[in-house]
Amino acid sequence: MPLKAKTRSRSTRIAVTLISGLLPVLLGAAILYMQAGRALKQDAEQTAEEAIRQFDLMLDNNAQAARELLPLAGQSCGEVTLALREQVTRRPFVRSTNLVWDNNLYCSSLFGDYQEKVNPGDYTQGALWLLSGNPVTPNTAVLVYRLSEGNKGALSTLDGYHLINTLRLIGGNTLLVLQVGPDWISADGKVHTGTAPDLPVAQSHLTSGRYAFAVEAGFPKGETWRYIRSEYPPLLSLLIFFGVIAGAIGHVLQKRSSAPTQEMQRALEASEFIPYFQPVVHGDSKSWSGAEVLMRWQHPKEGLVRPDLFIPFAEHSGLIVPMTRSLMRQTAALLAPQSASFNKPFHIGINITASHCQDLELVKDCREFLDAFEPGSIHLVLELTERELIEPTAITLQLFEQLRELGVKIAIDDFGTGHSSLGYLRQFNVDFLKIDQSFVAMIGVDTLSSHILDSIIELAVKLDLALVAEGVETREQSDYLSVHQVNFLQGYLFGKPMPGAEFISALSDH
Ligand code: C2E
Ligand code: CA
Ligand code: CA
């Protein structure tokens, strides 16, 4: 089969194959990416919630210590040192306790009597202050809890060790940051001032409902892909599998659809589509009244190819229009020099597809064809199959009007197999009906079909249309059609489709 031949543009084919393979993979990967993003976001939120819970719990101990000590503020340090130390000893997470009078720290669990100014403005919401260290442990962060009432004040400190430990342990893969007012601390234990930097992936921000701090949780850059690789390996393999299958299907499909088109394009350029001519005779005298031009493909390897094997591909790809144009030019070149010997007017039938009638190009093709012949020597007949009728639009009606002005005739091919209406026949100014060969074949065989044949003949007479019967193979069929006044006959009985040279030499005999 000629249309199985190899195609040329490999790069386009490879590109389309790659696209059809990559598309499902990319789409699937995008869905997995979104899914992974959602899972990470949920993970970050849960981690942030857990961190808030832990920090609240630690601060509860400091708050409790401060609450118990606050009433003692104002008493002399000697009297209260024991109480201060007792809180440190009894309560977890409390590293030191201090009493304040009139914004002056005057007593500490560590040093007893002490003097230091307290600035309430240092404390977020007057209650929490994150420091990078204090005089005792200058390199360890400290979180100070402050409680005050009038002149009285109590401070309770939380060791940064616990904060860092919590940030590290709860965090795991997650990056965690504790923000207290303008200061923040991350798992590396360093206290910074300013807003914590954005976390690259799935950042989640949560504020404690009870104390003046917030937590940021998120993941480092590239975490989404790392997550996909570790959590969805079966889905990833399935995606790649689908990609390969889709690529293969794309490859096969385009090979199937583009190969015939490219092969026909090559054949067109190599002038392998040639006209064959089948005589059409007068119904009464049986003298040659013209010919139908039938396309053949002179394939270099496959030999002569029948039109029904390649015309459908040509119609599908749109190549039928240039192919018909080439056929008309070859026909004109072969027959125009014979104009003098024609039985005038000589009918030349050309098969036209509906797609050729979508613009006015056909008028140009017909004018070029007619101009090649001696004026008045031929009738150009365009054969339009009834199975594929042309839509009556403004442009097609204009086209047929212009064709009529040129003197071009219209024949409805395969008449009886489609569904043209009387209105249609009038609208397009049809001149000939070509009775489909299936009805001719039934003459003397099937009474029902010959009834249909009789009504087609009757209809043509009523509409004043000329009739051509196709596929006349026997004398009986020929006689029947002649008796019934069918104007023209075509079939193997009078001549098979033949190459140009053979047709021209036979023409002189008739
Ligand atoms: P069609 O237009 O109905 O052409 C008549 C077909 O009947 C031709 O087949 C012809 O060889 C065949 N035929 C003629 N007399 C007899 C007969 O006595 N007995 C039998 N059994 N068959 C007969 P062909 O040449 O194979 O063409 C087949 C179809 O291909 C055509 O049917 C037409 O629809 C299409 N075709 C041919 N050439 C062209 C073309 O240039 N353009 C377009 N669009 N279609 C074409
Ligand atoms: Ca035809
Ligand atoms: Ca036909």
Residue having the nearest C-alpha atom to atom 22 of ligand 1 = 471
476 and 397 share a domain? yes
Tell me, yes or no, whether 210 lies in a domain. yes
Give the separation between CA 157 and CA 14, rounded to whole angstroms: 69
Q: Is 323 in the pocket of ligand 1 (CB under 6 A)?
A: no
Give the distance (Å) from ligand 1 centre to CA of residue 422: 25
Give the distance (Å) from ligand 2 centre to CA of residue 351: 5
The helix/strand/coil state of 289 is: strand
Residues 387-405 pLDDT 10s: 888 888 999 999 999 999 9
Tell me, yes or no, whether 118 lies in a domain. yes
Give the distance (Å) from ligand 2 centre to CA of residue 505: 23
User: Do residues 269 and 263 touch, judged by C-beta distance below 8 A?
Assistant: no
Give the separation between CA 92 and CA 59, rounded to whole angstroms: 10
Give the distance (Å) from ligand 3 centre to CA of residue 434: 7
Q: Is 307 in the pocket of ligand 1 (CB under 6 A)?
A: yes
State the pLDDT at residue 3: 58
Last residue of a domain, one of 192, 207, 224: 224
How many CA atoms lie within 13 Å of 411's alpha carbon, on the beta-carbon side?
Answer: 25
Q: Which domain holds residue 355?
A: 278-291+320-509
349 and 423 share a domain? yes
325 and 421 share a domain? yes
Tell me, yes or no, whether 134 lies in a domain. yes
Ligand 1 atom nearest the C-alpha of 490 is: 15
Give the separation between CA 283 and CA 18, rounded to whole angstroms: 61
Work out how many domains the chain is built from and give that number. 2
CATH number, domain of 403, equals 3.20.20.450
429 and 505 share a domain? yes
Residues 282-310 pLDDT 10s: 999 999 999 999 999 999 988 999 999 99
Average pLDDT, the chain: 91
CATH number, domain of 68, equals 3.30.450
State the helix-helix crossing angle for 361-371 and 394-406, rounded to 10 degrees.
10
Tell me, yes or no, whether 270 lies in a domain. no
Tell me, yes or no, whether 425 lies in a domain. yes
Radius of gyration of the chain (CA): 48
Average pLDDT of the residues in 437-450: 85
361 and 500 share a domain? yes
Give the separation between CA 188 and CA 329, rounded to whole angstroms: 86
Which pLDDT band holds residue 262 (cuts at 50, 70, 90)? Answer: confident
Last residue of a domain, one of 204, 224, 244: 224
Q: Is 460 exposed, middle or buried (0-12, 13-18, 19+ CB in 10 A)?
A: buried
Average pLDDT of the residues in 177-194: 94
Tell me, yes or no, whether 202 lies in a domain. yes
Last residue of a domain, one of 203, 224, 245: 224
Residue 508 structure tokens: 């002189």
Give the separation between CA 134 and CA 444, rounded to whole angstroms: 120
364 and 474 share a domain? yes
21 and 83 share a domain? yes
Q: Is 118 in the pocket of ligand 1 (CB under 6 A)?
A: no
Ligand 1 atom nearest the C-alpha of 315 is: 44
Q: Is 311 in the pocket of ligand 1 (CB under 6 A)?
A: yes
In order, the DSSP letters of 217-267 are EEE-TTHHHHHHHHH-HHHHHHHHHHHHHHHHHHHHHHHHHHHHHHHHHHH
For residue 341, pLDDT beyond 90: no
User: Do residues 64 and 145 touch, judged by C-beta distance below 8 A?
Assistant: no
The DSSP call for residue 389 is P
Q: Is 473 in the pocket of ligand 1 (CB under 6 A)?
A: yes
